[in-house]
Structure 1
Amino acid sequence: MTNDQDAAAVLKAVRDIVPRLRENGHKAEDARWIPDENVELLDKAGVFQLATPARFGGLDLPLADQFEILAEIARGCGSTGWVAMAWVSTAWLATQYPDKAQEEIFANPSVRISGGFSPTGTVERTEGGYNLNGTWRFNSGCRGAHWDLLGVTLEEPDGQHRELYVIVPMSELSIADDWHVSAAAATGSSSTTANDVFVPAHRVIDAGDALFGLTGDRSNTGATGRNYGLIGFVMTESVASYVGMARAAYELFVSKVGGKPIAYTPWEDQAEHPLTQLKVSLAANKIAAAEALVARWITLLQQRADAGEQPTVEEKATGRGQCGYAIQLAKEAVEELQSVSSGSAIMRNSPFQRFFRDIEGLALHGMMTPNSNLEVHGRVELGLDPNTYLL
């Protein structure tokens, strides 16, 4: 099959299971982890092969197709969408490792890889590789992952520190039961810890090289249309979760508002009230604007990847601003609808309240929070240095 046929097949399979993912939402939140059924349904649909290279039996779909599939998962369940995004986007980063590592990682084409990118661990050189120690918080999806990709620092003999990314089997790490939160509870974003874990040299790459696309000569890179750049790729895939949650909240609100009276008023049908109409229009247009912004950014990333190029610094900063604003718009769309929802919207058995809380909580993510991304974009617009290497 062609990429288009593969993408259409996976999208249809995911769309078919959206009702089941949504139905499992309450159970997932109570357990603070998505049900095994959700993982199995996504696996059967082919979701975990989206970024796996074709040479390992994966689908290797373009970013635009991956975005739409991940957004559809989040339309079913925000937490499940976030976990799927984490596994798929980190699988893409694994394609930047040497061939020997990729052969180990993608022995299962339907691989699930979590990540803790903040360099809160350390490594020391030892024979054949490195000795790993540290703890990584907010490790989304770690409870169901096969591998964990972790940020670490290495102290060189001259006292300088290098940031590296190591990848290790999840079975070699411990997972803390410390994920007790008011939003995105089912992502199971617990802390993982390594105690004297050996990491062979072929499973270690320089973080700076990965960020700037300098690991690209190893495989699945160059002008193959898949070397999107780390930050641009991860941010784009993340935005899919916010867009999917906003679509779900809109769908749920519109499906229930017709014929519903407004309590303590003479209005018998909320859909007839001008304020409801205004809020629905605002939400619809904010979602459409978010989709358009990220589509524009995806188009640029794909053009660069097809040419075997990285975006310029200015383009990367603009992309961060556009992704950040798309997240803000998606969040605001849900807030518009929540402001005209009735008291029943806060009931635990209402999926709407879960989408509202999840999008609010995930909008606080350090890399995704709109304010930080808009700052980077604004600096470049004003002719200033972006003041970050995370581009």
Structure 2
Amino acid sequence: MDPVDVLTLREELIEKATALHPLLAKNADEAEKQRSLPDENFKALVEAGMLRLCTPRRYGGLEAGHRTYLDVVAELARSGCGASSWYGFILNMTDWIVGGMHQEAQDAVWGDSPDNVVCCPLTPSPGWKARRVPGGVRLSGEWGYTSGCMHASWALLGFPVLDDADNIVDSAVALVPMSEITIKDTWNVIGMSGTGSNTLVVDDAFVPDNLTMDMSGPLSNNYPTSHPEEHMFLSDPAATFWTCVHPSILGLAQAALELTQERMTAKPKPITYTFYQDATRAPSVQFNIAQAAIMIDAATLQARAAADEIDAQSRTGQHLAPADRHRNIMRSANMVRLCRGAVDLLLDVQGAGAFALANPLQRIWRDLNACSRHGFNAAGVKHEIYGRSLLGADEQQMTAFR
């Protein structure tokens, strides 16, 4: 796509995401109560094209690129509805994985509609089974934390690949229609409750080989897709996985800042146990909101730098050099830390009143703290990856995604 067209598409999609803010904000509390995204929100996301960002254009998708994905999903979160933005993350990035799979897998998902939704739990619970049979694999087990499963048509299930001695030698994904899956209601949490991230139960489902993919292929720059001209789906998997989870965090932090500015300036608010009748006159409040704002600004710059580098890499047909990949992974860890710290400062600005259920900031804080603990947001692992890289101590294979 021409660079001008990319920018035009990005601006159009951001405008569409912004236009959804009133609806998403209105239903944010309802999403929490029903522990799943309201159908009204899901329908609005579909109709606005928010769930086709990473779908190939061959099927009517947008194939919008990783920077556009970042900006649009963050804009959804700026509504204050973390669950709606999380749908934008998990469902679009699952499309990105499917976009690199065999043609038969892509046809199965999008052959009749680019709006078909695939949820993606990559880690099975203990007790799972994967048995090789002629022509495919048979899967059984439970997959928890499956965001978006209540609206999905397919599930992309991850599982380890074992050798004859039960040693893990690879990881793989397999497409299973939701009609063959039972959803167990297990999602009872205080953050990101509206994502409906319940547990999938699979009982001896057969998955043909052309609906599976060993992850060692993409990790070694060997993709099953027969469309290498579709650069977005050739992005470095390790760099992409570690950075794709943070757009919701960025947008929620931006929402928290805007909400705090509005509440603090709407009318004078005294600071309890002081002589300040207008908190905006207090240097401590001024310092905290200034510090929070610049932390979010720095996080935005790092997130965009990471996404831009992944887009540039995908056009080369080569993966990032390890040092560049590891720096990009660390950018993601740092922007999450900055956003979380910024929202804590904004809570200090608003004070104990921020925890009233009528104040959206408490929900934003809970959602941000929950999603910033997602496995691909694990700051300690990212620090270790980058630290090993800087010190030349990367001999230990502590994760395949590095």
Give the TM-score of the pair, scaled to structure 1: 0.95
Instruction: Give the count of matched residue pairs.
Output: 390
User: Which of these residues, 256, 260, 264, is aligned with residue 263 of structure 2?
Assistant: 256
Task: Judge conservation of contact 1:140–1:190 (CA < 8 Å) in 2.
Answer: yes
User: Which of these residues, 60, 63, 66, is aligned with residue 63 of structure 2?
Assistant: 60
User: Which of these residues, 117, 122, 125, is aligned with residue 122 of structure 2?
Assistant: 117
Deviation string, structure 1 residues 355-378 (Cα, Å, up to 9, x no partner): 111111222222202222112111
- 1:21-170 equivalences in 2 (<5 Å): 21-76=24-79, 77-107=81-111, 108-120=113-125, 121-157=128-164, 161=168, 162-170=170-178
1:234–1:281 CA distance, 2 compared to 1 (3 A): same
Task: Judge conservation of contact 2:253–2:340 (CA < 8 Å) in 1.
Answer: yes
Residue type of the alignment partner of 1:142: C
2:398 aligned with 1:390: no
Partner Cα distance (2:148, 2:361) in 1: 23
Match of 1:305 in 2: 314
Task: Judge conservation of contact 1:43–1:110 (CA < 8 Å) in 2.
Answer: yes
Where in structure 1 are there 5+ consecutive unaligned residues? none
Partner Cα distance (1:224, 1:209) in 2: 16
Partner Cα distance (2:378, 2:163) in 1: 33
Give the TM-score of the pair, scaled to structure 2: 0.92
Match of 2:8 in 1: 5
Residue type of the alignment partner of 1:388: T
Residue type of the alignment partner of 1:117: L
Partner Cα distance (1:315, 1:221) in 2: 23
Deviation string, structure 1 residues 19-76 (Cα, Å, up to 9, x no partner): 2211211111111111111111111110111111111111100111111000011112
Partner Cα distance (2:159, 2:307) in 1: 29
Deviation string, structure 1 residues 97-119 (Cα, Å, up to 9, x no partner): 11111111112212322111125
Higher alpha-carbon deviation: 66-75 or 315-324? 315-324
Residue type of the alignment partner of 1:7: R
Task: Judge conservation of contact 1:153–1:164 (CA < 8 Å) in 2.
Answer: yes
Question: What SS does structure 2 have at the residue aligned with 1:197?
Answer: strand
1:51–1:223 CA distance, 2 compared to 1 (3 A): closer
Residue type of the alignment partner of 1:212: S
Residue type of the alignment partner of 2:306: W
- 1:185-204 equivalences in 2 (<5 Å): 185-204=193-212
Higher alpha-carbon deviation: 19-28 or 111-120? 111-120
Higher alpha-carbon deviation: 158-167 or 342-351? 158-167
2:374 aligned with 1:371: no
Task: Judge conservation of contact 2:289–2:349 (CA < 8 Å) in 1.
Answer: no
Match of 1:174 in 2: 182
Q: How far apart are 1:219 and its partner, in Å?
A: 3.2
Q: How far apart are 1:160 and its partner, in Å?
A: 5.2
Deviation string, structure 1 residues 111-142 (Cα, Å, up to 9, x no partner): 32211112544321223322111111111111
Partner Cα distance (1:275, 1:111) in 2: 50
Partner Cα distance (2:190, 2:275) in 1: 36
Task: Judge conservation of contact 1:82–1:187 (CA < 8 Å) in 2.
Answer: yes
Task: Judge conservation of contact 2:97–2:233 (CA < 8 Å) in 1.
Answer: no
Partner Cα distance (2:373, 2:244) in 1: 16
Instruction: Give the CA RMSD over aligned residues.
Output: 1.9
Higher alpha-carbon deviation: 179-188 or 297-306? 297-306
